[in-house]
Amino acid sequence: GDTMTQKQLFTPFELSGLTLENRIVLAPMTRARAGEGRVPNDLMAEYYVQRAGAGLLITEATVVSEQGIGWVDSPGIYTQAQAEGWKLVTDAVHATGTPIFLQLWHCGRASHSAFHGGRPAVAPSAVKLDGDHVHTPDGPKPYETPRALETDEIPAIVADFGRATELARAAGFDGVEVHAANGYLLNQFLESKTNRRTDRYGGSIEKRFRLLGEVLEAASNAWSSDRVGVRLSPNGSFNDMGSPDYRETFTYTARQLQSMGLAYLHLVDGLAFGFHELGEPVTLEHAREVYNGTLIGSCGYDFETAEAAVGRGAADLIAFGRPFINNPDLPARFANGWPLNEDFDMSTWYSGGDGAKGYTDFPTYDHRDR
């Protein structure tokens, strides 16, 4: 492409005192290589180092407690051993000079009793996820009706996010991203479709926001608000989400975030992951009207659309997911106009265990078979 337009994604950016070399972010993507103990390992460190050409790395979603588990072989951040495993990753990534944030996760109803010794998954309300099946340690199973959390159980969940933030800081991360998107627990509390509570955590938008607000406050207290980001997906249908009042909910939420002095708002504005089609999509431009902090756009961007979004000031940074799986050197390919590696077998992406196949075995452009 033309060098004038190419400059947008390759300008540095100051994020909470961290200098990002470019505007390209590795999106958080579940990769399931942590094994049964959920302890990060050398293979995972290699994976993140391979992708450290990004200005910022955001890790795969990482559960803050055993209660939060809902994915086979995904990592955790609730034990010392897990924090030490993550230190392998942060040390290796920091040797390249790239900052890395840890994404904090609780699956809520998108889990299954097979992960929890036969006890049901927890959620704001006993509303079953309408989906094909959930992958459990015992293979694919139908989704189950979750158990609605008691009001007095919620402070412990807030505390888990605070503790996870402390462990992430001790593990050498540069910040954390609170996962409130894609149909997981915090998203379930935000949306009227999944939150039918009548206590202080449900009913009005203000009450549905309360848990996310408390989690962000706990994370900010454990570290600093400018080292805490948050991810939202107002347009998403993934994990059976999408509520008629999605615009109102997003607008209120973004306004609340505005006053918190966070590192960034990471908006899944793209529709490549599924759109609920309940109205017009929430755009970066709409987010900018209600949130003037650092904004990351994501989901389905390519080089041209990312350039355009940053060029017109709609987003500060753009996160790339799937193209970064099979193009570890994605930023170099963008910078040099090299073609992307289009060949991949999605069945190996989440093959689990500690397998390099479909994980760290994708060639960089200058080391491809010639």
Just list the catalytic residues: 184
108/15 Cα distance (integer angstroms): 30
Contacts of 88 (CB under 8 A, 6+ apart): 40, 41, 42, 44, 45
CB 164 within 8 A of CB 104: yes
User: Residue 136 burial (CB < 10 Å; 0-12/13-18/19+)?
Assistant: middle
Distance between CA atoms of residues 360 and 329, nearest Å:
12
Residue 172 CA to residue 296 CA, distance in Å, equals: 23
CA distance 221 to 219: 5
Answer yes or no: are the C-beta atoms of 189 and 213 closer than 8 Å.
no
User: What SS3 class is residue 322?
Assistant: helix
Nearest CA-CA partner of 42 in 80, 81, 72, 87: 87
Strand segments, DSSP code E, in the chain are 13-15, 18-20, 24-26, 56-63, 100-105, 122-123, 134-136, 139-141, 147-148, 175-179, 228-232, 264-267, 295-298, 317-320
Amino acid letter, residue 118 = G
Alpha-carbon torsion, ordered 158, 31, 174, 65, to 10 deg: 20
Q: What are 161's two structure tokens?
A: 């996010």
Six token digits for residue 14: 């100051």
Residue 343 CA: distances (Å) to CA of 322, 326, 357, 363: 12, 8, 14, 11
